[in-house]
Chain A
Amino acid sequence: EAGVAQSPRYKIIEKRQSVAFWCNPISGHATLYWYQQILGQGPKLLIQFQNNGVVDDSQLPKDRFSAERLKGVDSTLKIQPAKLEDSAVYLCASSLVVGDEQYFGPGTRLTVT
């Protein structure tokens, strides 16, 4: 079974630029999560989708971050404009249903200079 795919693996941008990350969950997984992991910290949930609907986006900085999951499969996370403090690893995870085991992708390491 293929795992969660993410791209790009690394991205370096200047502050105030825009960036987008892509995630392809495990086939058949209805629930998709985006986490932000700042260096030296545990992952923090940004947004949770159930199919193509948002379940929880309470910790998403909505003035600059947006995410969508069209057709309930792939998802993109966008940052516009980026700030220095957005430098982190962005992890995508999926689970079969809400509350089930979450499988994580390798992450996208973002460096904002």
Chain B
Amino acid sequence: GEDVEQSLFLSVREGDSSVINCTYTDSSSTYLYWYKQEPGAGLQLLTYIFSNMDMKQDQRLTVLLNKKDKHLSLRIADTQTGDSAIYFCADLIPNSGNTPLVFGKGTRLSVIA
């Protein structure tokens, strides 16, 4: 089955850029997502990219997709303390009418003031 891998921790200084990386294994992926989870809260969709795109920019967020290497990254410019959270990469696999989202284990981003 599909496997999504992320590094577990990232620590950055406030104002710096953060780059969170993710690798996946299934080449039939259609959409790849980045979700944010703050303590005690559900998952909030941050952004997504369609598999035929290389890059997507949305305000402070930039998503890069290297389909050949099955590598996805999320760059957060000018990282703020409010960005401290767990970030999940998720892969949408089309499969016979159902569309499971397969999540990585999450990267815990700590922003140091």
Residues of A within 8 A of B (CB): 4, 33, 40-45, 48, 55-56, 91, 93, 98-99, 101-107
Contact = CB atoms under 8 A, between A and B. Distances in A.
5 contacts: A40-B105, A45-B101, A48-B100, A99-B92, A104-B35
A42 B100 contact: no
Interface residues of B, number: 23
A102 B97 contact: no
Given A99-B99, A107-B42, A42 B106 contact: yes
- 8 nearest A-B pairs in the assembled complex, by CB-CB distance: A42-B103, A104-B42, A56-B98, A104-B43, A55-B98, A99-B99, A106-B42, A45-B100
Q: Which of A33, A43, A105, A107 has the most CB of B within 10 A?
A: A43
B34 interface: no
A98 B48 CA distance: 16
Contacts of B101: 33, 43, 45, 102
Contacts of A42: 4, 88, 90, 103-106
Given A42-B4, A42-B106, A102 B42 contact: no
A49 B88 CA distance: 23
A98 B42 contact: no
- Grouping DSSP codes into helix (H, G, I), strand (E, B) and loop, the A interface class, with mixed when no group exceeds half, is loop
Contact of A102 (B45, B94, B104): B45
Contact of B103 (A4, A44, A103, A105): A44
Given A99-B92, A107-B42, A56 B105 contact: no
Contacts of A56: 98, 100
Given A55-B97, A55-B98, A98-B99, A106 B104 contact: no
B44 interface: yes
Contact of A98 (B43, B88, B97): B97
